[in-house]
Amino acid sequence: MAVKYELIKQCKQSGARLGRVHTPHGVIETPAFMPVGTQATVKTMSPEELKAMDAHIILSNTYHLFLRPGHDIVKQAGGLHKFMNWDRPILTDSGGFQVFSLSEMRKITEEGVHFRSHLNGDRKFLSPEVAMEVQNALGSDIMMAFDECPPYPAEHDYVKKSLERTTRWAERCLKAHARPDDQGLFAIVQGGMYKDLRIQSANDLTSMDFPGYAIGGLSVGEPKHLMYEVLDYTVPVLPAGKPRYLMGVGSPDALIEGSIRGIDMFDCVLPTRIARNGTTMTSQGRLVVRNAKFAEDFGPLDPECSCYTCRNYSRAYIRHLIKADETFGLRLTTYHNLHFLLQLMRDVRQAIMEDRLLDFRDSFFASYGLFDN
Ligand SMILES: CNc1nc2cc(C(N)=O)ccc2[nH]1
Ligand SMILES: [Zn+2]
């Protein structure tokens, strides 16, 4: 089996658990945050820097690499690990979400999705079979089934028809899976914000026995309490012996709340995206370092952080670089934000080990809300 989940410890206070996901390129300690490397790079970070902050796995996007440079070039390079010089695990999503969020002129049929590239308007087609061919060429350790992520809000009838097609597409992905011993294939549970549909989607997909299950269709504009509600009734329908991956999440509070509800894997562009406009995550909340108030502040971004950025550079210096549009400034804020979330997940795992995750949440939230810029 390419990907196997090892349950280490079930938290006594909550649905959280400690685990390990074993893959051909290494082990992922869970709950885990996965830095996003959309176009075969975690923006401004080198693989060595990602290892220095102890990222166990990164995510890359099938849609983007399919459009540019094309999966055949990555395959000729020896696969994505070789192409981007990353020898630890890689998870690739299947492109379904990006087709709906990025491309124009989409036409969705039972066969797949016809769309125009957001880069140059070229006609393109993605389907379960094509998504599997692309991810096979990329050589990722964990592949995602091709799915439709319905918009929010969406009518019950639309979501039901959509999830039933996503289930049929998942079956086609299984059939098209060329290397089950080298690549794990996760199915994606849909069903919108409807309990009956989430349970139907989860039951249909778990009956096909995938090595892992993602919860999709969330973090699409719904209020956070609604996302947590969906998790409350969806996670219990998933097998305890398989990893659960919450797609597109998230912010520090969502990572903690999702872990409490038994989620094992998370990904989000937030830390890298906000870093590029000079916004950083600190133990006291968000800090917008480009703010004039930091012009003569010679302390670190976060006094409680031990990362390369916080050990060597001041808020005043980083603010100067950001204002001067110096790339090094973006690298410093990105490094810190990624380290912040990876460190948060290390603290979450330690709290689960010591059965104090709910207390950890309360103390984190108490300090995280403090900062106002
Ligand atoms: C940023 N939010 C987000 N929601 C997502 C849902 C999916 C999905 N396949 O339902 C994938 C990526 C996602 N990213
Ligand atoms: Zn730092």
User: Mind listing the pLDDT tens digit for each residue in 196-209?
Assistant: 999 999 999 999 98
CA of 260 to the centre of ligand 1 (A): 20
pLDDT band at 104; cut points 50, 70, 90: confident
- Give the nearest ligand 1 atom to 144 CA: 9
Instruction: State the pLDDT at residue 132.
Output: 98
Provide mean pLDDT across the span 142-160.
Answer: 97
Indicate if the pLDDT at residue 25 is higher than 90.
yes
**H helices within the chain, ranges in order?**
47-52, 62-67, 71-76, 80-84, 96-102, 128-138, 156-175, 195-206, 224-234, 252-260, 270-275, 308-312, 315-323, 327-353, 357-368
pLDDT digits (tens, 9 = 90+) for 315-363: 999 999 999 999 999 999 999 999 999 999 999 999 999 999 999 999 9
CA-CA distances (angstroms) from residue 366 to 51, 363, 369? Answer: 30, 5, 6
Pocket lining for ligand 1, CB < 6 angstroms: 93, 96-97, 147, 149, 188, 216-220, 247-248
CA of 82 to the centre of ligand 2 (A): 29
Helix H or strand E segment including 252: helix 252-260
Distance in angstroms (rounded) separating the CA atoms of residues 248 and 61? 12
Q: Mutate which of 60, 97, 152 to test ligand 1's pocket (most atoms within 8 Å of Cβ)? A: 97
Question: Which residue numbers are catalytic?
Answer: 93, 267
Residues near ion ligand 2 (CB < 5 Å) are 305, 307, 309-310, 336
DSSP state of 22: E
Mean pLDDT of the chain: 96
pLDDT digits (tens, 9 = 90+) for 204-251: 999 998 999 999 999 999 999 999 999 999 999 999 999 999 999 999
SS (H, E, C) 134-157: HHHHHCCCEEECCCCCCCCCCCHH
Picking from 212, 211, 110, the residue whose alpha carbon sits closest to that of residue 167 is 110
Share of the chain above pLDDT 70, in %: 99
Tell me, yes or no, if the pTM score tops 0.95: yes
Q: Say which ligand is closest to the CA of 275.
A: 2
Q: Mutate which of 144, 146, 159, 220 to test ligand 1's pocket (most atoms within 8 Å of Cβ)? A: 220
Share of the chain above pLDDT 90, in %: 95
Instruction: State the pLDDT at residue 2.
Output: 84
pLDDT digits (tens, 9 = 90+) for 270-320: 999 999 999 999 999 999 999 999 999 999 999 999 999 999 999 999 999
Instruction: State the pLDDT at residue 13.
Output: 87
Provide mean pLDDT across the span 116-129.
Answer: 96
Our separate counts of H helices and E strands in the chain read: 15, 16
Distance in angstroms (rounded) separating the CA atoms of residues 62 and 80? 11
Q: Say which ligand is closest to the CA of 230.
A: 1
pLDDT band at 1; cut points 50, 70, 90: low
Quick one: tokens of 62? 């099938």
Provide mean pLDDT across the span 172-187.
Answer: 97
Instruction: State the pLDDT at residue 373.
Output: 54
pLDDT band at 369; cut points 50, 70, 90: confident
Indicate if the pLDDT at residue 65 is higher than 60.
yes
Instruction: State the pLDDT at residue 102.
Output: 83
CA of 373 to the centre of ligand 2 (A): 18
Burial class (CB in 10 A: 0-12, 13-18, 19+), 19: buried
Indicate if the pLDDT at residue 372 is higher than 60.
no
How many Cα atoms occupy the beta-carbon half-sphere of 33 within 13 Å?
Answer: 31
Q: Say which ligand is closest to the CA of 318.
A: 2
Indicate if the pLDDT at residue 370 is higher than 80.
no
Indicate if the pLDDT at residue 371 is higher than 70.
no
CA of 8 to the centre of ligand 2 (A): 29
Quick one: tokens of 218? 């969330």
CA of 300 to the centre of ligand 2 (A): 8
Distance in angstroms (rounded) separating the CA atoms of residues 148 and 169? 9
